[in-house]
Amino acid sequence: MTPKNNQHYTFSELVDTKTFQDLMEKFYACTDIPCALLDNSGNVLVAIGWQEICVCFHRKHPETLAKCKESDMEIARHLHEKKATFFSYKCANGLNDVAIPIIIENQHLGSFFFGQFFYDDDSIDIEFFRKQALIYGFDEKKYLEAYQKIPTYSHDHVDKIMQFYSGLANFLIYMGIENIKHRKSAHDATLFRQFAEAAGQGFGMGTFDAEITYVNPALCKMVGETEPDNLIGNSFIDVYSSENQEYLKNVIMPTVLKEGQWTGELSFSLPDGRHVETLENYFLLTDENNQPRYIADLVTDFTEYKKMERELKRYQEELEERVKERTAQLAQSNEDLQKEIGERRKVESALREKTEALKISNRELEEFAYVASHDLREPLRKISTFADLLSKKYQSHLDEKGERYIYYMVDAANRLQEMIDALLHFSRVSRKAFGIESLDLNTIINHVLNDLEMVIQESKATINYSDLPVIQGNQKLIRMLFQNLISNAIKYRKDNAPSIKISAIKESHTWHFTVTDNGIGIAPNFSERIFGIFQRLHTHDEYPGSGIGLSICRKIINQYNGKIWVESDVGQGATFHIVLPQIINRSS
């Protein structure tokens, strides 16, 4: 039936959609080029190869599905109203869709769609897709994996694909109207040839007598020929090796004619001696009455793949042998490990006993330090008092040497008193349980600076801090911590005025504080020693003090399962790092 200018047809009346779907599925299996064919009512007649990101995400969520439908309607409207021959549209989901109208005898019967891709000159913003996943609740990892699968094409390649699809659709419609063998137009054949020649895989057509009627350049090159004309008219069976020729005649050809297709592996040898292995898909092209007309063949060169497959098999066999050897070794190692575990358990049991004994010893030592320092205060007070009385009462009877001895006695007693006070202070931090509360660190630092107001003014020190967080801890301990660090920064200064900066960074589960100064600095090899009790790097005359301040700092930090360390060098100032948990266990 030949269409007239004033006669109307529907797309489904003119094309065998089932055959077209089967054909495009075979084509997609070899080329990975998707398509969709829609009539003017929006019915999907043929669809193959839609991208995972659209099928599994965009068309599953109601809001992104609405964007997809908006794209479909915009393309259809443009093609219908503008009578355009080609229309490219970027949907709101960030992917390109392209469509060509199917027009027969001036009738717009439907549209051929090719979409869900990027152009090679698109500015692709992955953050757009990350935002999509966040907004619509997609699994970001799976969504971005689907995004990575989106193909990229050049404009020229897309033009050829759409030209081919348009020509192929027209080609099949005319097959339904009249015998395609007598009505195939030169235009359709040209479009088909353009696409076939642009394809990277081999494609050929022939008669049922195995006479070659067409080969594309890729297939021509694959079989070692330079010109397609050297193959057209010959038998495609003669291309293959002798054992495959018999297989083609006796198995493949009967299977294709009976079942409509055959897919499998074949091989042939080139004139230069090279052996080519291929994956081939033979299938029938039929007319509207489902009568076979041609045999088509899609060919993929699998030579390198088969070579890798054989290598993989060899490696697999070697691996299996190694696995056997390794399994035996592991069995022996496991036996040895069980023995070692038994020994380690004994060691761990002994270690636990020693650890418990050490805890008891530490508690006893802390108790001893507290009691000893407390009991030493009264004798020491008497030494200091009587030395002072001796100095006053017998001053006129003492020579210069005697006065110097009494000075040494008093000075030593005062320093010992200072050390005992520090030891008591240290012991109280260890022995006493402190409550946990929320603390505004800005307020804590303000209190510390008020306490140190006189020394700050005398040294002309500047302390910079702002936007410090609210943390958990005990007010007395946290105040003592920062007072020790700030007073040390002022004490161990150079000739210039001290400059101190306090800052905080929120990490995953902790607060990371830094106290930085421009003072005399600390040699790196002393960075751990300074936290020991009564450990001093300078004489008492150079820098007075008990040498216990940083020990107390570490003791406080340990109560909260935190960390404290210093980064410094001589003359370069120092930065003390303090890490405290954001949430502190109240049993700490």
Tens-place pLDDT, residues 111-151: 778 878 888 988 888 898 999 889 999 999 999 998 898 88
In 3-state terms, what secondary structure has residue 400? helix
Helices and strands: H and E segment counts in the chain: 18, 18
pLDDT one-digit tens code per residue, 516-573: 999 998 888 888 888 876 666 666 556 666 667 788 888 888 888 899 999 988 888 9
Average pLDDT over residues 310-335: 88
Give Cα 278 to chain centroid, integer Å.
38
Q: What are the structure tokens assigned to 98, written together?
A: 């392209």
Query: What per-residue string of b and e applies to 4-17 under the rule 16 or more CB within 10 Å gives b?
Result: eeeeebebeebbbb
Give the dihedral of Cα atoms 414, 419, 425, 429; nearest 10 deg.
180
Opening angle at CA 50, ends 92 and 288, nearest 5 = 125
* Rounded CA separation 536/427 (Å): 19
Identify the pLDDT of residue 100.
80
pLDDT one-digit tens code per residue, 145-192: 988 988 888 888 888 887 777 777 666 566 555 533 444 445 556 767
In 3-state terms, what secondary structure has residue 274? coil
pLDDT at 1 over 60: no
pTM of the model: 0.35
Q: Which domains does the chain have, with CATH numbers?
A: 1-199 (3.30.450.20), 203-301 (3.30.450.20), 338-427 (1.10.287), 433-581 (3.30.565.10)
Q: What are the structure tokens assigned to 349, written together?
A: 């049991």
CB 256 within 8 A of CB 265: no
In 3-state terms, what secondary structure has residue 203? strand
* Rounded CA separation 515/485 (Å): 7
Give the number of other CB atoms < 10 A from CB of residue 377. Answer: 14
Q: What are the structure tokens assigned to 345, written together?
A: 């358990």
